[in-house]
Structure 1
Amino acid sequence: MVHSITHHGRRLAHDRTGAIAPIFGVVASVVMVSAGFAIDYGRAVAARADLQGALDVAALAAAKALSTGTTDTTTLTKLARDMFDANVRTALTAPVAGSDFTLAADAKTKTVTLAVSARMPTAFMGLVAIDQLDIGAQSSSVVDGTKFEIAMMLDATGSMGDKPKGGSVAKLTSLKSAAADFVNTMLPAGGGTKDIVRIGLVPFAASVNAGGYAATVTGGKSAACVTERYDAAGQIDASDASGAVSPVGTAASAACPSLAVRPMTNDAATLLADIAALKASGTTAGHLGTIWARYLLSSKWSDVWTGAAASATGTKGVKKVAILMTDGLYNTSYSPKGKMTQVEPNAVSTGAALAACQAMDKETTVVYTIGFDLSGASGGWAKTLLQDCASTITDPNGKTRKAFYDVADDAALKAAYQDIAAQLLRIRVSS
């Protein structure tokens, strides 16, 4: 069938008779116009997603102000509009001409409802007199007391210094931009979310840099680099801070990420500085990143994460979230004596990562996973692990799905992080 279509297509393309040439030209024009329509439509969908994300942040900020006594509609509208303008990112995907912005506030229920409509100039639909597309979004928010603790596992391995297949930007550059956008969305300047959102960072490569916490968790064996923490039964520990220590072999020390773990904080500037300082080096011990993401969210680690960095005890009123990002299969692990094993697939690394994900699921932590530029056999194995690690979530349309994002390029990575931010913000919005 395919051969037949191809054969006839070639005949049409090379036919020089007077009847066929005009027909072929008309068909080609229709195909080109259809492709142009698809491009414009895709830009409109992306622009609407940008509007929705910015509107959710603005609604949350206005609802926060309403809950603390600001009831004047003009004041709330200005606050919400300023927040929307500061966070809208439509310029990244499509230029959007002026927008209409409305607010309705219910002081009794402490609910704010926002709506925005805008017009996006088309690039191709103008051929049929459609010069712009109308796009819009709506968001209703009520401050319900829910708080967020978010642990972001960031791949800082050597392969992150490479460009994805067909891409023009190094993967680490894309990660820095996407992660920074996420932080700015969840902790917007002046957005009033500092009392409800805290974020921690876990850069990983062949090991994890525990910084000033290393001595405590390695029994004084390391001042920075940490690997597996084996318990008395010889199992990799993924729970309590006491009793298990990391062996820290010399190979691990040589491959220690330059950036240390950042426990929970609501200081956006600190988080952004950390993200900007990420460097690519080393192999992939993804289970260590996964386990340490769990540590950041564990109240059992209160003897390590003290004061403002400590995780909340229990999950009542707190939404705990882990975002696990990697560009490859987990291939590095260490024995109880610190001997490195590097092989694909690495059963120790993948098994320990999955066990940590399953433990977080039992602890009601929502696990999002992002696979970046995964291809070939090892990429297929990595996708399976990330899918198994991801929690099952319900999207705004009521459909359940795995919280796994398989992304291939810079734009898709940014979209994944922004979709996660939107999912989290909508936990707090009523529609």
Structure 2
Amino acid sequence: MRHFGGLVDAIGGFAKDRSGNFAVLFGIVASVLALGAGFAVNVSQLSNAKSSLQGVVDAAVTSTARDLTTGVIKEADANTSVQAFLNANSQAGILSADQIVLDKLTVDKIAKTVQADVYVDVGLYFPIFSMGDMKRVAASTTAVYSDKTIEVAMMLDVTGSMAGQKIIDLRTAAANAVDSFLSGQDPAKPRVRVSIVPYANSVNAGALAGSSVYVETSTSQRKQAPGNGAVQY
């Protein structure tokens, strides 16, 4: 009994001793705070990875749908195109190109849609609880494309107010736009057609152009458009 009585007294004395309470409480609170901070960092990391991955796959699919629409690529080339866009766009974000996996690509030729499912395995900074040290983040997006012929009409202002640098910039911009529209097409089956409609004091709409607006075919033929008081440059 004396032995057990001494043990009871020792436990009672330990319970009454408050000299180490702060250290014990600090250890408990610090552990909880560390776990909470680690969990918050993991959630933020996964959220950023999800946002970056979604942006990358959106850009890849919409760019591929655009190329399908303009005839730059065919349906059979969609997989290669999406993968190339994934690699190119991911290098600017928090994900590296070799992390992103193209899980599935579906080209629906009836609905005219392109759907891509991708994922990335993210290494967590704080592998706590049952999360493990790796977490898979997935994203998916769908874009619509068209195989119909595209017709673009560009109306260009060649009035006297465009004299000087303005008309030079207009020509440069128009040439770049036409190159962008027509580049990469199959010459035998063009998908995009561009028409240019200049106007001065009237609109060049075919037969009307012969009597109202002069359109040069070379710089040596440059002259003043009818009805304008300034030379067109």
* TM-score, L = length of structure 2: 0.50
The equivalent residue for 2:128 is 127
- Write out aligned runs for 1:32-431 (5 A): 32-67=34-69, 68=71, 70-72=74-76, 75-89=77-91, 92=94, 97=99, 99-124=101-126, 126-130=127-131, 131-143=133-145, 303=167, 305-309=169-173
The equivalent residue for 1:24 is 26
Contact 1:95 1:121 survives alignment (8 Å): no
Contact 1:44 1:94 survives alignment (8 Å): no
3-state DSSP of counterpart to 1:92: coil
3-state DSSP of counterpart to 1:133: strand
The equivalent residue for 1:150 is none
Deviation at 1:89, TM superposition (A): 3.7
1:128 partner letter: F
When residues 105 and 99 of structure 1 are mapped into structure 2, their CA distance, relative to the original with a 3 A threshold, is: same
Deviation at 1:80, TM superposition (A): 0.8
Deviation at 1:66, TM superposition (A): 3.2
Contact 2:107 2:114 survives alignment (8 Å): yes
When residues 95 and 121 of structure 1 are mapped into structure 2, their CA distance, relative to the original with a 3 A threshold, is: farther
Contact 2:57 2:139 survives alignment (8 Å): yes
1:166-198 deviations in Å (ceiling 9; x for gaps): xxxxxxxxxxxxxxxxxxxxxxxxxxxxxxxxx
Alpha-carbon separation, structure 2, partners of 1:89 and 1:44: 18
Q: Which runs of 5+ in 1 are unaligned?
A: 1-15, 146-240, 244-300, 311-431
When residues 42 and 17 of structure 1 are mapped into structure 2, their CA distance, relative to the original with a 3 A threshold, is: same
Deviation at 1:101, TM superposition (A): 2.4
What count of residue pairs does the alignment treat as equivalent?
142
Deviation at 1:119, TM superposition (A): 1.5
Alpha-carbon separation, structure 2, partners of 1:115 and 1:77: 12
The one of the two structures with greater contact order (alpha-carbon pairs below 8 A, sep at least 6) is 2
3-state DSSP of counterpart to 1:118: strand
Alpha-carbon separation, structure 2, partners of 1:95 and 1:40: 21
Alpha-carbon separation, structure 2, partners of 1:63 and 1:102: 16
1:91-150 deviations in Å (ceiling 9; x for gaps): 6368985634211112234321111112111011x13242122212111112479xxxxx
2:139 partner letter: A
Alpha-carbon separation, structure 2, partners of 1:49 and 1:89: 14
2:40 partner letter: A
2:169 partner letter: W
3-state DSSP of counterpart to 1:41: helix
1:306 partner letter: L
3-state DSSP of counterpart to 2:110: coil
Q: Which runs of 5+ in 2 are unaligned?
A: 1-17, 148-159, 175-233
Alpha-carbon separation, structure 2, partners of 1:46 and 1:29: 26
When residues 36 and 57 of structure 1 are mapped into structure 2, their CA distance, relative to the original with a 3 A threshold, is: same
Alpha-carbon separation, structure 2, partners of 1:92 and 1:23: 39
Deviation at 1:40, TM superposition (A): 1.9
When residues 46 and 94 of structure 1 are mapped into structure 2, their CA distance, relative to the original with a 3 A threshold, is: farther
Alpha-carbon separation, structure 2, partners of 1:142 and 1:71: 13
Deviation at 1:59, TM superposition (A): 0.6
3-state DSSP of counterpart to 1:306: helix
Deviation at 1:302, TM superposition (A): 5.9
Deviation at 1:46, TM superposition (A): 1.6
1:245-302 deviations in Å (ceiling 9; x for gaps): xxxxxxxxxxxxxxxxxxxxxxxxxxxxxxxxxxxxxxxxxxxxxxxxxxxxxxxx96
2:32 partner letter: V
1:402-423 deviations in Å (ceiling 9; x for gaps): xxxxxxxxxxxxxxxxxxxxxx
Contact 1:94 1:120 survives alignment (8 Å): no
Alpha-carbon separation, structure 2, partners of 1:132 and 1:63: 32
